[in-house]
C-alpha cells in the first residue's frame, strides 16, 4: 500500500519557503505522494447558507501553479490534486495545465477530480452549478482525448472542439482519480477512473466495503479489470495517537486500499517541522 501526505494548506499559508521545506521533507521521509485540495473562491458564510465547511477565510493554494513549483524542488514524489473541482473549470485549459505539470515533473502528476459543493463559487466562475454532473462526465473523455491526440474534433452537450489540440502533449496517460460520495460518482470511478478517493464519511468497514464493491461492479460492467482500480483512504492525525493511526492503516490495507494518506492539516501544528515530525513518526512505525 502506497503512503502519502495530505498537504497542510493552513500551516503553509502563502509562505513559499515553507512550501519548499514541506514538499522536500515529505519526499525525503519516503512518502510516495502529496495530495492537495482546491477551491478558487471562498464565500462569506454570513451572507450564504453554505453546504460545505470552507469560507473565504480558508487558504487554498492554486494547485497547478503550486505543483509546478513543487516539481522543480523535488524529484520523485507524486503530485496529486484531491480534489480539483473540475466541473467549474474550462476543460481545455485544465488539459493544458495538467499536461504542463506532468511534463515539468517528469510524469509525476495525477489528477484527482470532483464536482464540488459551493454554488457561489460556480456562479462567480460563470458555470452552471445544476449541470456539474453531466459536465464532469463529458470532461473526462475530452481531457483524455486532448492528452492523447494532436487534433481533436468533439461535439457534446458542454463542449465543441473542431480540429484543435494542445501542444506539447504529455508523455503518458495522466491518471484520473474520482472524489465524491454520491453513488453516481462511485460508479463513474469504476467506469472511467483510475481510482476512487474515498471521503472520510466512509472511513469505516460498514461505510467503505459496500461502496468499494459498487465501484468494482461498475468497472466490471464497463468491461474493465476491477484489479486496475485504486482506492485511496486516509487518516487525520487530529485526536488520534500513533497506534490508532497505524491500526487504521492496517485495517484499510486489509480491505483493499491501494493508497493511504496521512493528513496533519487540522492537527494544530504551528510549524512545518511539527507536520514533518508527525509524518516521520508514522512512516518509521508503519510495518508495510
pLDDT tens for residues 20-37? 999 999 999 999 999 999
What local confidence, expressed as pLDDT, does residue 240 receive?
Answer: 87
Is this prediction's pTM over 0.85?
Answer: yes
What local confidence, expressed as pLDDT, does residue 153 receive?
Answer: 99
Q: Is residue 160 part of a domain?
A: no
What local confidence, expressed as pLDDT, does residue 268 receive?
Answer: 86
Q: How confident is the model at residue 267 (pLDDT cuts 50, 70, 90)?
A: confident
Say which residues have a Cβ less than 8 Å from residue 261's Cβ, sequence separation at least 6: 3, 4, 5, 6, 33, 35, 82, 232, 233, 234, 235
pLDDT tens for residues 115-161? 999 999 999 999 999 999 999 999 999 999 999 999 999 999 999 99
Q: How confident is the model at residue 269 (pLDDT cuts 50, 70, 90)?
A: very high
Q: Is residue 275 part of a domain?
A: yes
Q: Is residue 164 part of a domain?
A: no
Residue-range definition of the domain harbouring residue 17: 2-144+170-285
Q: Is residue 109 part of a domain?
A: yes
pLDDT tens for residues 240-262? 899 999 999 999 999 999 999 99
Q: How confident is the model at residue 45 (pLDDT cuts 50, 70, 90)?
A: confident
Domain count for the chain: 1
pLDDT value at 266 more than 90: no
SS3 annotation, the chain? CEEEEECCHHHHCCCHHHHHHHHHHHHHHCCCEEEECCCCCCCCCCCCCCCCCCCCCCCCCCHHHHHHHHHHHCCCCEEEECCEEHHHCCHHHHHHHHHHHHHHCCCCEEEEEECCCCHHHHHHHCCCHHHHHHHHHHHHHHHHHHHHCCCEEEECCCCEEEEECCCCCCCCCCCEEEECCCHHHHHHHHHHCCEEECCHHHCCHHHHHHHHHHHHHHHHHCCCCHHHCEEEEEEECCCCCHHHHHHHHHHHHHCCCCEEEEECCCCCCCCHHHHHHHHHHHHHHCCC
Q: How confident is the model at residue 59 (pLDDT cuts 50, 70, 90)?
A: very high
CATH classification at residue 81: 3.20.20.30
Q: Is residue 159 part of a domain?
A: no
Q: How confident is the model at residue 218 (pLDDT cuts 50, 70, 90)?
A: very high
Q: Is residue 18 part of a domain?
A: yes
pLDDT value at 288 more than 80: no
Q: Is residue 257 part of a domain?
A: yes
What local confidence, expressed as pLDDT, does residue 226 receive?
Answer: 97
Q: Is residue 156 part of a domain?
A: no
Amino acid at each position: 500500500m502506497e503512503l502519502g501526505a495530505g498537504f497542510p494548506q493552513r500551516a503553509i499559508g502563502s509562505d513559499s519557503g515553507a512550501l519548499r521545506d514541506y514538499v522536500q521533507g515529505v519526499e525525503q521521509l519516503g512518502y510516495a505522494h502529496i495530495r492537495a485540495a482546491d477551491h478558487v473562491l471562498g464565500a462569506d458564510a454570513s451572507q450564504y447558507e453554505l453546504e460545505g465547511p470552507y469560507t473565504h477565510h480558508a487558504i487554498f493554494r492554486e494547485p497547478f501553479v503550486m505543483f509546478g513549483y513543487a516539481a522543480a524542488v523535488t524529484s520523485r514524489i507524486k503530485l496529486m490534486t484531491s480534489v480539483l473541482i473540475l466541473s467549474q473549470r474550462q476543460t481545455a485549459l485544465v488539459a493544458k495545465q495538467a499536461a504542463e505539470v506532468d511534463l515539468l515533473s517528469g510524469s509525476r502528476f495525477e489528477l484527482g477530480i470532483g464536482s464540488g459543493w459551493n454554488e457561489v463559487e460556480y456562479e462567480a466562475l460563470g458555470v452552471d452549478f445544476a449541470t456539474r454532473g453531466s459536465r464532469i462526465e463529458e470532461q473526462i473523455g475530452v481531457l483524455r482525448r486532448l492528452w492523447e491526440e494532436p487534433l481533436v474534433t468533439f461535439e457534446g452537450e458542454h463542449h465543441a472542439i473542431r480540429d484543435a489540440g494542445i501542444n506539447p502533449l504529455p508523455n503518458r496517460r495522466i491518471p484520473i482519480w474520482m472524489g465524491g460520495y454520491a453513488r453516481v460518482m462511485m460508479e463513474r470511478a469504476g467506469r472511467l477512473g483510475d481510482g476512487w478517493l474515498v471521503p472520510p464519511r466512509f472511513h469505516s468497514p460498514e461505510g467503505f466495503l459496500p461502496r468499494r464493491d459498487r465501484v468494482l461492479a461498475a468497472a466490471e460492467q464497463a468491461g474493465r479489470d476491477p484489479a486496475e482500480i485504486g482506492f485511496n483512504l486516509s487518516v487525520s492525525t487530529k485526536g488520534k495517537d500513533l497506534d490508532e493511526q497505524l491500526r487504521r492503516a492496517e485495517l484499510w490495507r486489509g480491505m483493499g486500499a491501494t493508497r493511504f494518506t496521512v493528513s496533519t492539516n487540522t492537527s494544530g501544528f504551528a510549524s512545518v517541522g511539527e507536520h514533518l515530525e508527525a509524518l516521520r513518526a508514522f512512516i518509521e512505525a508503519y510495518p508495510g
